[in-house]
Each structure stands twice: as C-alpha cells, then as structure tokens.
Amino acid sequence: MSLHTESVVAIYPGSFDPLTNGHLDLIERGRRLVGKLVVSVLNNEAKHPLFNVEERMEMLREAVVGMDNVEIDGFDGLLAEYAARRGASVILRGIRAISDYEYELQMALMNRRLRPDIETMFLLAGEGNSFLSSRLVKEVARLGGNVSGLVPAAVERRLAARFSENKV
Ligand code: PNS
C-alpha cells in the first residue's frame, strides 16, 4: 500500500446504534492515519435498531464537528461494494477484546475475497473502552443506569428521551 496517506480514503463502517466514546476514540485516532475517513452507518432497519439511520447519522455529525477530514454517510448492501464505490482502499475496524477477533477475522477475509484491493485495518480500542459496547449502553440506559462518560452528552440525552418516550 502507498505511504502517501493523504490520498487514502478509509471507511469506518458500523451500526453505531448509538455512537459511543469508544467509536469516537477510533474516529479520532483513525482520521490521523488517512486523508479522508468516511464513517458509514449500516442501514439495518430490519434488525429494529433503537435509532433510525438518520438519527444515528445526526448523532455522529454532531460528534465530529471540527474534524475536517471526517464525513458521515449511510450504506446498505455489501460493505466491500460500497467501499469500492466510495473509492476507499481501507476499511477501518476496532478490536476490543480477543472475543471480537473471530468475527472481525471472518469479515475481513470475506471482504478481501470480494474486493482484494481493499485492506481492513484494525486499531485496538483504548484500554478504558475495552468493555464498552452500544448494546450494553442501551441496556444500562433502558434500565435507568448512568451512561455518562460512555457516550457523548448529546447521545446520553437522546437515550434518556427515547426510553422515556417508550414508557408512555
Ligand atoms: O457495528 P457492527 O454492527 O459491528 O458493524 C457490522 C458491519 C456494519 C461492519 C457489518 O455488518 C457489515 O459490513 N454489514 C454490511 C453487509 C456485508 O457486507 N456483509 C458481509 C460482511 S463480510
């Protein structure tokens, strides 16, 4: 791969339902390694996410204000094809614990088979975020627990609003 990183477009794909501080840390670190980082929200409405794609993209847009080489986008269908359409040569993913490895390995190898010209690049999650997941954040917030420090303040407010709506 070229070392002229300013011309590299990378895709950071995910569900981001919702964005956590772990994702944000990866965006901050990943964007320094490439020319442009496209954070891409999977349109997975069939899985009944807590927030729809537009809401998830809005939360991301609010969180990346001032990060000039970061763009927020949505996608559906095959990630490898979407990445190729966007002119990306890198897919960025984060790894927390060893338990993430198997799933990530399968995806990276399948994506490589589909598009051999696109490399998956892994960054290790910050050690303070290695227990953090959107799933646990939703569960804690739904049960009334404190998620401050785990997600951006704007996401915390949206979680509180969403779960208070669902109670009525
Ligand atoms: O945040 P997540 O849920 O771990 O992200 C998973 C994601 C979006 C990266 C993965 O589900 C995906 O790439 N979906 C798109 C469909 C696809 O390309 N599937 C084959 C991947 S090998």
For ligand 1, the distance from its centroid to the CA atom of residue 168, given in whole angstroms, is 33
Domain definitions of the chain by residue range: 9-130
CB of 14 closer than 6 A to ligand 1? yes
Query: Would residue 138 show up in a list of annotated catalytic residues for this protein?
Result: no
Distance 38 CA to ligand 1 centre (A): 15
For CA atoms 118, 54, 58, 157, the dihedral sign is negative
| Count of CA atoms in the C-beta half-sphere (13 A) of 66 | 2
**Residue 50 — pLDDT band, cuts 50, 70, 90?**
very high
Report the distance separating Cα 128 and Cα 131, nearest Å: 8
- CATH 3.40.50.620: does it fit domain 9-130? yes
- Given pLDDT bands bounded at 50, 70 and 90, which one contains residue 167? low
The predicted-structure confidence for 88-138, as pLDDT tens digits, reads as follows 999 999 999 999 999 999 999 999 999 999 999 999 999 889 999 999 999
47 in catalytic set: yes
